[in-house]
Structures are given as C-alpha cells and as structure tokens.
Structure 1
C-alpha cells in the first residue's frame, strides 16, 4: 500500500494474506470493495461486522493520482450502504496515529471521534483515533409484556 501513500509505520504494512482472507471469506465477516480504472485498481475499502449493530470500515486507500475525484467518498458510502442493507445502526473506523491528516475527511462525512476501543487495533501500533457515524435510526425499545397477558 506504499503506492497509495500509506505511512510505512501503518498497520497496513503488517496486514497479512491470512488477515485479508479472514476478512473476505469468513461467512458474514465482511468484504472488500474495489474501484478500478482501465483494469487497474485505484481504490479499495474493507469492512467487517462487529457485534449486532456495527460495521467496521477499514483499509480505505486511493492511489494518489486518483484522489480528489470523490472515490474515497464513494467507497465510504458503499460501506455505509452495506451497513444499512444489513440493518446495522452505525459504521465505526479507526485512524492510525500515522495518518491523522485524514481525520477532517471523515469528519466532513459525518463521523465523530469516540472513546470506544477499537477491537482490531494492532498491538504493535499506538492507539488509533476511533470515529463513528450513525447510518440508521435506532428502533424504539420494545415494551415488556404486561404480566397476565
């Protein structure tokens, strides 16, 4: 991912084939979206399920020469659409301490920083900035059944 301008200290550089296979091919675990131009992959994003309400967005990357055309926004929107289609309430992501310049990008898309832990944090990396966005309304809590009915 160095071609996509990722910092060498990023966890991207510790992502293994096994990590990607687990993300892509475990039933219900998640998936990957790619954008190609003329047969060349110019952008990608991964996603995975975290509990019953959350889809995690990860590994967003767009080649430097393809930036500024809205591809990153489209990839994020694809993950948000996936969350809605699954009936999930929110999308959560983590920004590496080595990639903090992208925080305003996510903020502009409606993501807000949270103190929640990031379950996929790499133990060899500094704690990431965790951000979250609601993508569907929380349904009203069901009323408990009344006794005797």
Structure 2
C-alpha cells in the first residue's frame, strides 16, 4: 500500500472510494459530488490523501481542512470494503494527524454521521474523544453528527507501519 497526497487528477478515484464505502444513503455523504470534493480538497489549507494498492487502485481516502488556528478537521475517511481490516483507515488518520502537527494545530476534529455510529469505536481506539461542540459543517438536512476531537500537541509523529 502507498499513501500519497491527493491531486486534482484524483477526484474521480477519491469519489469512487467514497461511494464504494457503503455509507447509509440517508447520509449527506451520499450526495457529495466530484465538484464538491474539488472545492473541499483544494480550498486554502485543505488537502487529502489516497491509499493505493499494488496495482494502483485507490483503496482508501481522507480529506482535511483548517477550522481556525487550532483545529484541523478530518473528513471523508473511506476505505473500500475489500481493503478493510489491514490498517488502512488508521494509516490515513495518522497522515492527517501528521499534517496537523506540522501545521501547528493543537487538535484534529471530526464528525461522525448519526447513520454511521458503528465507526465510533475505531476512532476511540485512535484516541478521539466525544465533544459537545457543534459541527460547523453539518448538513442542515441531516441529524447533528457526533463530534470527536483529539489533542495532537506533543505527540510523536508515527509512521504508516504503526
């Protein structure tokens, strides 16, 4: 597996991974378009990563964007079902955490859809904790998401093999 920063030519592959991830169709996630991705991933300070298999197929993705001086928001984490259980999601999250540390952010924040609560233990194992703060990017037609945060100040950078 190779992790690399996303570039504009990756929009279709990134979108395909998101749609293959199997999110509940009631989620606003299912309405994300390639144009939405382009705006999100390439706005100032934003970015993302793709995880590629040996044959170059996109197996996972994650995005991030700054939300103020102290917070980097992780979003759009997805893996193809056949690639799960191999540490791919963890590696993608760790990449965003490294971006946060290098950028001087104090924490990483993410929001979990009410339709995807089964992923909460995954994030909790990675050190994310529930927060009562509202999510600034919540879709108005969706139930409020569960907000999770992790303080990344002072953590050592970890490699993908962790």
TM-score band, normalised by the shorter chain? Answer: 0.7 to 0.9
Task: Quote how far apart the aligned CAs of 1:14 are.
Answer: 1.7
3-state SS of paired residue (2:50): strand
Task: Quote how far apart the aligned CAs of 1:18 are.
Answer: 3.1
Q: Comparing both structures, which one devotes a greater share of its residues to helix?
A: 2
TM-score (norm 1): 0.87
Q: Which residue of structure 2 aligns with residue 44 of structure 1? A: 61
Task: Quote how far apart the aligned CAs of 1:19 are.
Answer: 2.1
Which of residues 94, 99, 102 is equivalent to 2:111? Answer: 94
State whether structure 2 residue 130 is matched by structure 1 residue 113: yes
Which of residues 72, 82, 94 is equivalent to 1:55? Answer: 72
Deviations 1:81-140 (A, max 9, x none): 000000000000000000000000000100000001101101111000000000005xxx
Q: Gaps (5+ residues) in structure 2?
A: 1-17, 155-162
State whether structure 2 residue 27 is matched by structure 1 residue 31: no
Q: Gaps (5+ residues) in structure 1?
A: 138-149
Structure with higher Rg: it is 1
Q: Which residue of structure 2 aligns with residue 65 of structure 1? A: 82
CA RMSD of aligned residues (A): 1.1
State whether structure 2 residue 144 is matched by structure 1 residue 127: yes
Runs of 4+ deviating beyond 6 Å: none
